[in-house]
Amino acid sequence: MSTVVVAYELGGAGRQVVRDALEGAAEAIHLPDLDSAGRADALRKADAVLARTTRELLPGEIALLQNIRLLQFFTAGVDHVPLADLPTGVPVANNAGAYAEPMAEHALGMALAAAKRLLVEHAALSRGEFNQFAPNRMLAGGVCGILGFGGIGVAMARLTRGIGMKVHAINRRGRSEEPTDWIGTPDQLDLLLAASDVLVICTPLTPATLGMIGAPQLARMKSDAILVNVARGEIVDERALYDRLVAFPNFCACIDAWWIEPVRHGAFRMDQPFLSLPNVIGSPHNSAAAIAETGVAGLQRAIANIRRALAGERPLNLVAPEDRMM
């Protein structure tokens, strides 16, 4: 039977999910349970490894991964993981789409809050202002532009289509089995920006997407567009976005993914005072907050991909060398 090493601590419920998902295909070995000799032996014999980050491995253990069929990460974003330290040729997969449904709900919730001026009017009510006839916006009939049409993008398309929006999207292939009203490739970004009433950024951070949305791109957007970022802050130029928000008060930004965050950088910091602006809605990158149901689904999707590798099939969501940030 094949062996899957789980590199990080999982509680009893999580271990049961892994056992059930691997049943008949592989045995799970949990690295935190072992002493240093046992860890090294397990990693040498592993057919696949499930990890959150390579930092869970002790010095010298990364070199022991050279013969595994797959290093599967539990998280969707691996831009902060030092993949350059891995032995050459180790297949790496992220868990893209693991939290697609809650992230799409979060993005839509933020967009609706911006369109309906919920936070603005809540603050006004607290000041005694009753702006009953201040206009807000309908999203139905508008265009939801989706930059990154993977699992999250598809989930977002289904929700926005359900409220009557048209769906425009970009992915690398310029095609998808999921219905869209228009789909293009990254070189057609300007068309997506110009058409979007709501722009949802859910593409991975790679060398190609770093700084992808700067001042020229923001200038191509509608003056009252709503930008929602549930991906990575670094995809958007921080100062350019702030300047756009100041210059166009009807332009809104819903920021879930920030430029400096505790998990990736050890602190939360912004270089521009976004939260002082009325046309900004912020959340603490919790669009994928791991409620019990989501955590189970994420584990199941990660293990399903490991099973593909163990069966000799091509795993999903492989991270190509040119897409690796570290």
pLDDT by residue (tens digit) across 186-220?
999 999 999 999 999 999 999 999 999 999 999 99
Same domain as 242, residue 315: no
Of 234, 237, 263, 294, the closest CA to residue 106 belongs to: 294
At residue 283's C-alpha, the angle toward residues 117 and 155, to 5°, is 85
Same domain as 228, residue 111: yes
Same domain as 268, residue 301: no
Same domain as 164, residue 26: no
DSSP string, 183-232: EE-GGGHHHHHHH-SEEEE-PPP-TTTTT-B-HHHHHTS-TT-EEEE-S-
Same domain as 317, residue 208: no
322 noted as active-site residue: no
61 noted as active-site residue: no
Active-site hit among 39, 69, 106, 232: 232
Of 101, 204, 209, 233, the closest CA to residue 157 belongs to: 101
Active-site hit among 168, 285, 301, 307: 285
Give the total number of structural domains in the chain: 2
Same domain as 20, residue 162: no
CA distances from 110 to 28, 106, 116, 305, 321 (A): 39, 6, 10, 31, 34
285 noted as active-site residue: yes
Q: Does some domain include residue 313? A: yes
pTM of this structure: 0.87
The structure tokens 């669009």 sit at 287
Q: Does some domain include residue 180? A: yes
pLDDT (0 to 100) of residue 294: 54
Same domain as 261, residue 317: no
Q: What are the pLDDT digits (tens) for 232-257?
A: 999 999 999 999 999 999 999 999 99
Q: Does some domain include residue 111? A: yes
Same domain as 164, residue 70: no
22 neighbors 28 (Cβ within 8 angstroms): yes
14 neighbors 276 (Cβ within 8 angstroms): no
Q: Above 60 in pLDDT, residue 290?
A: no
CATH code of the domain in which 18 resides: 3.40.50.720
pLDDT (0 to 100) of residue 291: 59
CA distances from 139 to 47, 62, 162, 181 (A): 48, 49, 11, 16
pLDDT (0 to 100) of residue 204: 92
Structural domain boundaries enclosing 10? 2-97+292-323
Same domain as 231, residue 184: yes
Same domain as 127, residue 54: no
Of 111, 227, 100, 98, the closest CA to residue 156 belongs to: 100
pLDDT (0 to 100) of residue 323: 82
Q: What are the pLDDT digits (tens) for 110-141?
A: 999 999 999 999 999 999 999 999 999 999 99
Check residue 267 and report its DSSP letter.
Answer: S
Q: Does some domain include residue 216? A: yes
33-42, 69-78, 97-106, 295-304: which is most confident? 33-42
How far apart CA 229 and CA 218 sit, in angstroms, is: 13
Region 27-49: mean pLDDT is: 96
Report the percentage of the chain scoring pLDDT > 70.
Answer: 98
Same domain as 277, residue 226: yes
- With both helix axes pointing from N to C terminus, report the angle between 292-310 and 12-22 in degrees, rounded to the nearest 10: 30
Same domain as 278, residue 302: no
Q: Does some domain include residue 287? A: no
